[in-house]
Chains A and B, each alone.
Chain A
Amino acid sequence: MTAVVEAIGLSRHYPGDTTPVRAVDAVDLAVEAGEAVSVMGPSGCGKSTLLHLLGGLERPTAGELRLGGQRVDRLSEAAWARLRRRSVGFVFQAFHLVDELTALENVELPALLVGVSRRAAKRAALALLDRLGVADRAHHLPDRLSGGERQRVALARALINEPLLVLADEPTGNLDSHATGEILKVFAGLPDTGQTLLLVTHDPRVAATAHRLLGMRDGSIVDDTRLDDGLSRHAVLSQLAGWDP
């Protein structure tokens, strides 16, 4: 299969007082289309930085990065922005919704940025909100939504342009079990549409929902395990909000 994400010697070093801080250090990684990958590791091990590098929010100090076969590590800020519109969807722990926009407008935004008409964007956004169970909250500002609702809106916003790659940074970190279950249910459906998921988490139960688990320490990937699709995953998921995949 073709690798959607391919990193070779990907590094991000920051200047330190005496020696450089190696937030991400010579990471080699290939993630295939339709694959769901969890990244785990202690705080400060570079998980989020890796995610930011893969989504172009930070620039590598060394190494190569390919997205959908295209080399992207040398793209300009504007070129990365255009690529991100279509190919990358971000989900954050803190939701990061635009406070001034309603739930519907937040979801429409990426579609409008790629040039979809307002009418089509609205239709697609409403459909997604409906699929995620928050259509009745479409005209509310984020401040009026619960944490779970906000994250579902954020997820809808990440998915509206059907990106190749969904990058989720602790997406369930601020949610209760029920809301976590709702989010994971959506993630579980992504491989069916050929979308790739890279998920940073501290929660082993959430990590267990992926096809593959990467362990990180001191900026490097120290463990790369393929999880079976059998009993262990099912057991973990069934504990979450009584959800039965």
Chain B
Amino acid sequence: MALLARLAWRNLRARPGQALLLLLALSLATTTVTLALAVNETGNDSWDRLHSRTNGFHVRTARSYRLDAPPPATLTGSPAPTAAEVARTHETLTDMAGAAGVVAHSGPWPMLATTGTVGGSRLELFLLVRPTAPEPVGQPLVTSGGWLAGIDDEVVLEDGLASVLHVTPGSTVTLAGQPVRVRGTAMTVSVGRYPLYQPPRVWVSPPAAARLRAAGAVDIGATLELRLADPDAAPGFAAAHGPGLETWQETRAGSHSELTVFAATLLVIGTLLAFLTIATAAVLVAGRMAARSRQVGALKAVGLTPGQATGVLLMEYLAVAMVASIVGIVAGTLFSPRVVRSAASMYGAPQAPPITWSRSAVAIGVAATVVVLATVGPALRGVRQSTVRALAANVRPPRRASRLGRLAGRLGLPLPAVLGLRGVTRRPGRTAANVTGLALGIAMVIVGLALYRGARRFLASPLFAEAGDRAVNRLLFDQLLTIVFAAAALLVALAVINAFVVAVFAARDSARHHAILRTLGATPRQTVTSFVVTQLAACLIACATGIPLGVLLFATAAGDDLNPVDLPLWTYAVVAVGALATYLVTVIGPARILARSPVTTQLTYE
């Protein structure tokens, strides 16, 4: 075992570039998966911190004064409740506040509905009446300006509302037709952030509530927030005290639902990346097997079993997988607050969640699975070949002439191009892996561009006269675009790594082939052209499949409002040219190395 480990370590040290490429590819997958798992925890952490700082509720309710009446057509259109209805509701809530297990409460506090103009946008709003003194439960955390001072023309805006509509303390807004001054902005876990949480909330003091009630604001119900001796007893308490009660666990779970979608999407992307990384790793392993078949032959000649020979290779790549897991766990955890920061539902600046065993196990599992799946097949194939053949091994020659190359010859293409196209089908597995990764990346770019254009057209439509609606949709589109472009960037990054890996091994494979061509009088430029054509052919196939795939994906996933895809034709051309240019830049390095490699070294190797 020690001998095998030493051999594995020596092999890794001998080829640090290959190990680094595999590390990069695996790290992309492990980072994405860790990020997906950490995002929710980061959202929870942000909620927990605000809950703790505001001494947040364990159970809360917002009860309507007119439970028995049919719902009004508009929030502000409901008739004012009778004094008896108000008294009955307050009595019920007060009784609840005195129930067993309750250690503190806030409320019942009246809630009014009205319309108003905030930052130039006309909105329906709920006014939450609060005293000027701090409440024992769920006292909103002031984020700018100050808390209510009991003046009848001052209010405090929910932080999300103020930030989306660009209103700051000292500004004037209009509520129920009355101009009022914004004294501050605040947030609390019992009030979600605008625009995801609507109608937006405004805190008003009792004198301000009285003034606005007189101006037309309508009492619609009352709120109550409770702290329990045992927070975990909240679901039982809610079940025992009738409908309309919400526990802190329910509010927390629903507080960042858009992040949950984001996390799920990231998980899908991470899984996709892991699958594609199998292809990258398989190319590396197969390439290594081809290059190392002499070593394997020598090892077998001195008595190593095929299993042990596979073990050496597996050990090498599992070591890389271990490092990639650590990179992924740390990077995913650290990136998580950055990703979450843009989420509209976040209360304050998010912080990185602690590294947990469960998340680490998933990242390690992903990396190890990729390596095992990629290694076992090629390694077993490699070690199964006869020892004599392995000792004399070189790249396995083709058994059939390339039809593509023959067709290229008949079409009268230049000789380097014909020779290049003959090489395309030489490694069908590698070409397929290369094309798949690249095609998916290109497809995601197309989806992103189509979504961006569709979203702009959709948001500009007259459907969104309301600032709130426009803001909500813009946020949702921004998040979707972030996901799609992040997916595209990750897929393209992996495709570039894959293309580079394939090109490096293709350059090695074809070095002898090109050396032969040079003995026949082909110039270095001709051999490089032939190599680049071989590699670009894969990219052309990826463009030809990736662009329609992107259009199809978008047409399938997008709703009626965004369909059909109306990207101008030049966009597809730009994507294709961009992909080809990126690919060219990626493969030109290996091509130049190929051109510089001495002919005689390649020919005497055999």
Contact = CB atoms under 8 A, between A and B. Distances in A.
Nearest to B399: A143
A235 interface: no
Interface residues of B, number: 35
Contacts of B515: 96
B476 to A, nearest CB: 53
A141 interface: yes
B519 A98 contact: no
Given A52-B600, A100-B423, A100-B426, A109 B520 contact: yes
Interface stretch (B246-254, B326-334, B400-408, B581-589): B400-408
B606 A84 contact: no
Interface size range on A against B: 35 or more
A92 to B, nearest CB: 6
Interface string A154-175: 0001000000000000000000
A102 B400 CA distance: 9
A139 B484 CA distance: 50
Interface in A119-153: 139, 141-144
B409 A118 contact: yes
A85 B316 CA distance: 45
Given A48-B604, A57-B519, A101-B422, A77 B399 contact: no
A143 B521 contact: no
A143 B423 CA distance: 16
B518 interface: yes
B516 interface: yes
Secondary structure dominating the interface of A: helix
Given A118-B409, A141-B399, A58 B598 contact: yes
Given A141-B397, A143-B397, A114 B524 contact: no
B409 A99 contact: no
Contact of A98 (B395, B517, B525, B599): B517
B397 A113 contact: no
A90 B422 contact: no
B398 A157 contact: no
B520 A85 contact: yes
Contact of A110 (B395, B405, B521, B524): B521
Given A100-B401, A100-B402, A110 B520 contact: yes
A141 B520 contact: no
Tell which of A57, A96, A112 has the most Cβ of chain B within 10 Å. Answer: A96
Contacts of A109: 517, 520
B600 A141 contact: no
A81 B519 CA distance: 8
Given A98-B513, A141-B398, A157 B603 contact: no
A84 B398 contact: no
A77 B519 CA distance: 11
Interface string A74-110: 0001100111111010101010111111100100011
A55 interface: yes
A48 B604 CA distance: 9
B170 to A, nearest CB: 75
Contacts of A112: 415
Contacts of B523: 77-78, 81-82
A100 B422 contact: yes
B528 to A, nearest CB: 11
Contact of A97 (B415, B419, B516): B516
B461 to A, nearest CB: 57
Given A90-B519, A100-B422, A109-B517, 14 more contacts: A48-B600, A58-B598, A81-B522, A81-B524, A83-B521, A84-B520, A94-B606, A96-B516, A96-B606, A97-B516, A100-B419, A100-B423, A112-B415, A143-B397
19 contacts: A48-B600, A52-B599, A52-B600, A57-B599, A81-B518, A81-B523, A84-B521, A85-B520, A88-B521, A90-B519, A90-B520, A96-B516, A96-B603, A102-B401, A112-B415, A113-B522, A114-B521, A143-B398, A143-B399
